[in-house]
């Protein structure tokens, strides 16, 4: 979170959602200072929330509660522990604000749309989708591809393939992207080039989200 706070800059507010019973302030002066100045906000999940499996996370993200918490924001940047932003990029996240949904484009052999592990989303659109559609009945396996399919029916503003690649890389490679999701897994043969461009990617080596 400190990395993202630094690259995004002071105009951004970061929200950490966690269960109150499990929360302990990290022993990190930098993190404490970020909380004290309001750049990182701690919010508590409903007490009965369970996020112990991938399915739990999918169900949580496809229900209204989380999107209603951030619905007043113009755009929301979601990032998992296996994603990173490159501080040397000529792009900023704000450069992609025109889009309702953008993330690393998914290789067609894996599905359609954008990967959600590092993605910029219109929370009003996503909240409306969760109120109007049922992920459990959709037959979709992944929340990001479900949201993409539902968004298409509502006339969203979406990026070109090139713009999405410049925003983030996962299964499809692009030189000098702004962000990366699971680069060691999907772009193993490009890691030397990626790390030369964005040394921060080294923080992800050996890390993969559940």
Domain boundaries, the chain: 1-49, 50-204
- 210 pLDDT above the threshold of 60: no
Q: What is the DSSP secondary structure assignment for residue 209, as one 8-state letter? A: -
For the chain, give the percent of residues with pLDDT over 70.
Answer: 98
Residue 203: predicted pLDDT: 93
Asked if 99 and 157 count as a contact pair (C-beta separation under 8 A), the reply is yes
The whole-number average pLDDT for the span 130-148 is: 97
Specify the pTM. 0.95
Average pLDDT over residues 52-74: 96
Which residue is associated with the tokens 């950490």? 16
Beta carbons within 10 angstroms of residue 20's beta carbon? 10
Chain segment 13-24, per-residue pLDDT in tens: 999 999 999 999
Flag whether pLDDT at 45 surpasses 60. yes
Max Cα distance, the chain (Å): 46
């Amino acid at each position: 979170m400190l990395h993202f706070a630094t690259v995004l800059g002071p105009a951004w507010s970061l929200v950490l959602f966690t269960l109150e019973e499990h929360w302990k302030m990290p022993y990190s002066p930098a993190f404490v200072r970020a909380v004290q100045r309001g750049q990182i906000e701690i919010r508590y999940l409903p007490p009965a929330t369970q996020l112990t499996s991938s399915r739990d996370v999918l169900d949580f993200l496809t229900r209204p509660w989380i999107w209603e918490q951030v619905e007043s924001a113009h755009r929301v940047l979601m990032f998992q522990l296996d994603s990173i932003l490159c501080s040397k990029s000529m792009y900023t996240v704000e450069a992609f604000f025109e889009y309702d949904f953008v993330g690393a484009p998914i290789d067609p052999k894996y599905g359609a749309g954008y990967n959600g592990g590092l993605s910029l989303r219109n929370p009003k659109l996503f909240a409306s989708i969760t109120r109007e559609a049922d992920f459990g009945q959709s037959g979709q396996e992944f929340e990001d591809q479900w949201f993409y399919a539902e968004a298409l029916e509502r006339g969203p503003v979406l990026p070109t393939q090139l713009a999405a690649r410049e925003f983030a890389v996962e299964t499809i490679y692009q030189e000098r992207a702004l962000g990366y999701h699971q680069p060691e897994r999907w772009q193993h043969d490009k890691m030397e080039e990626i790390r030369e461009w964005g040394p921060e990617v080294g923080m992800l080596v050996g890390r993969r989200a559940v």
